[in-house]
Amino acid sequence: MIIAGAGSGKTRVITYRVAHLIRNGVDSFNILVLTFTNKAAREMRERINHLVGPEAKNIWMGTFHSVFAKILRVEADKLGYPSNFTIYDTDDSKSLLRAILKEMSLDDKLYNANFVLNRISAAKNNLVGWHEYQNNDQIQADDRSSGREHLGKIYETYAQRCYRAGAMDFDDLLFKTNELLKNFPDVLNKYQHKFKFLMVDEYQDTNFSQYLIVKKLAAVNENICVVGDDAQSIYAFRGANIQNILNFEKDYPDLKIFKLEQNYRSTQNIVNVANSIIANNKEQLKKNVFSEKEAGDKIKVMRAFSDNEEGKMVAEAIMFQRTTHGLKWHDFAILYRTNAQSRSMEEALRKLGVPYKIYGGLSFYQRKEIKDLIAYFRLTFNPNDEEALKRVINYPRRGIGDTTVDRIIVSADQNNITPFEVIINPSQYLDGRTSASVGNFSTMIQSFQVITKTLTAYEAALHIAQHSGLLKDLYADKSIEGLNRYENIQELLNGIKEFSEREDIEEKGLDIFMQDVALLTNDDSDKNKDADTVSLMTIHSSKGLEFSQVHVVGLEENLFPSQMSLNSRSDLEEERRLFYVATTRAENKLTISYATSRFKFGTLINCEPSRFLDEIDAKYLELDFSAKPASGGSSFFDDEREAWSRKTDTFSKPKPAVVKTTSILAKAHVPSPGFAPSDTSNLQVGMEVEHERFGFGKVISLEGNKPDVKATIFFKEIGQKQLLLKFAKLSIVSK
């Protein structure tokens, strides 16, 4: 087991270990390397290829889902699936569940498709099939107590419909692999002897299903090497079990442990802050992470009086750092706990003209026009794919309405056949008016099935795009959105053409391209990663990435740590690991910020600084309440700075002081009794005013013409602010 601290070069270690095995006579076909992203697998393969040459192509290397999908396609007939089974994405699964809920006449609010899918996913990841689900007394009792006693029947129907459609969802790729290895000992024996050396990256992120597959495959040879960092286990919400890495020695008593403790990424101060954070977790594998880089800047802690002001401060800080140090926009990242926090950041960046990109938004392959064309591809290779059929049977419009589609599905259920078998013989199941349109559609799909056998992936894709009418329909839309959609289809076709011309793969059919697309992870689907933009993303999305300068925003109680995590120690420790991941994304400069008030569901609430700030050793921190770093700083918050200095006077003593941040932060202003905005049309320099949040202040200057007059006011509590009078809601205290 290799315990790899953040920035310690674990990818290099995996790469060299595999190269070492090959150089020492291990057959590359007998090596299995499992990762969590295609990007990681691709980078490793390229590095190994550089070290040992073409042998790297023979290694079984990829994500858990892609490797086991490959095995399932070979062994699919044993489970009753076709080798060309479709892989349903989340949208496909939700669409099918919504159809099932409608057929069962169930309340879609009580049985929300998201909730039901998550419930089924959790069951599969714990290897609970629908039979076990329905026969488990505890599960049934839980469902009845929540008023959802039909969940077991929905799970059964969902599983049967996927099977009938020749489809597996993402969870099935692991669930069915476990089923295969459990029920077919000859298959298990085959792969146990094939994969003589196993390596698993990011082992702390494995769930029960993945853990069991790895354990079974390694049982014969026990040549297993896992790499991970318990301090970066942050995916419990999707089933990851940190106990897999904490208890690894119990599974393999002869285990040898190696620790990679030097961080090559971050400055000493950043590493020290990260260490002081994670030291508060009780459940961990102890290691001493260190850096030999320069000490670097202290970690700046910025306070704002609102989420909008926090965005403004972060945007101005980025602008100042870029200008002062000659950096690129892509050197900066803003990390937040929840997606909703991006709004104030986006607004502030836009106002300053800072280019940015939000990661984790709509990916290229999730766009409607892309999913439409891919649905045609899916239906061509697997005509039993019910979700693909429903998506495109009337797009572009061909006179087949929802009523006809419902009749097709009902006829298939009643006759225990697939919907495609219904549309092949439309006159037998449908009336004459619609049967002709349905018949023409089925003939078109059958013609696609014929031509794909003789054409390259690109030629087949172009033929389907043209003859389905999809390309013509998009070309006819001359709006900006229509042009973008048409260009997206062209981009997809370009990608297929590149795939057709690749020399590093042997099979280049459109069906193989489809498999690759279905197994893309989030990091693989972005086409513009090299654009010079500031990166905005959740901390979960940032894992594995690094940036020169990082802003971690929203360090407030009930936000980070989240309110949901305060019920148990294990949940709180996962939040702390999440903060550890956030801080260790930074190479050279780390800034942390929080707001003392924030809008939540339309209501302004007061916020308390995060407990995590109290856990950081104060000698590594610099408190900065300057709202205008771009102007070179100012004298705001002198009282708070003095208080900070008093707190940090003890640094010279043997025991380092930990600053209690909450004790030195000014609370949000409480308006005076009877506070009401005044008429400010005749406001003059020198007048004293009160703002409901910024407190009492004095007008320093006025500029602009009515009604767009701007007032510069020095507030006693927060310093100088510039406000537009028509929106400021000021109360004049004295003239």
Q: Report, as residue numbers or ranges, the catalytic residues.
A: 10-11, 201-202, 232, 585
Whole-number Å distance between alpha carbons of 228 and 2: 7
Other Cβ atoms within 10 Å of 696 Cβ, number: 16
**Structure-token pair, residue 573:** 């420790």
Instruction: Give the separation between CA 123 and CA 135, rounded to whole angstroms.
Output: 13
Helix (H, G, I), strand (E, B) or coil at 530: coil
- Tell me the three state secondary structure of residue 368: helix
Q: Is 159 annotated as a binding residue?
A: no
Burial grade of 82 (CB within 10 A; 0-12, 13-18, 19 or more): middle
Contacts of 455 (CB under 8 A, 6+ apart): 463
5 is in an annotated binding site: yes
Q: Pull the structure tokens for residue 28.
A: 């590359």
CB 512 within 8 A of CB 333: no
Tokens encoding 181: 């290895």
8 annotated among ligand-binding-site residues: yes
4 is in an annotated binding site: yes
Query: 508 with 502: CB under 8 angstroms?
Result: yes
Residues 735 and 698: beta-carbon distance below 8 Å: no
Hey, what amino acid is at 714? Answer: F
Q: Report CA-CA distances (Å) from 6 to 242, 270, 449, 504.
A: 17, 11, 49, 32
What are 445's two structure tokens? 């799909």
**Beta strands across the sheet bearing 2-4:** 60-63, 31-35, 197-200, 224-228, 2-4, 258-260
DSSP characters over 540-572: HHHTT--EEEEEE---BTBBTTBGGGGG-HHHH
Q: Is the dihedral of CA 615, 535, 524, 445 positive or negative?
A: positive
> Cα(200)–Cα(215) distance, rounded to whole angstroms?
11
DSSP three-state, residue 381: helix
Residue 469 annotated as part of some ligand binding site? no
Structure tokens at 174: 């692991």
Helix (H, G, I), strand (E, B) or coil at 111: coil
- 172: its two tokens: 């099935």
Residue 6 assigned ligand-binding role: yes
User: Rounded to 5 degrees, what are φ and ψ at 437?
Assistant: -65, -40
Burial status of residue 13 (CB atoms within 10 A of its CB: 0-12, 13-18, 19 or more): middle
Q: How many CA atoms lie within 13 A of 179 on its CB side?
A: 18
CA atoms within 13 A on the CB side of 665: 26
Residue 561: asked if its preceding bond is cis (omega within 30°), the reply is yes
Tokens 């059929």, residue located:
389
Nearest 5°: CA angle at 138, between 134 and 143?
A: 65
Three-state SS for 733?
strand
Annotated binding-site ranges: 4-11
Annotated binding-site ranges for ATP: 4-11
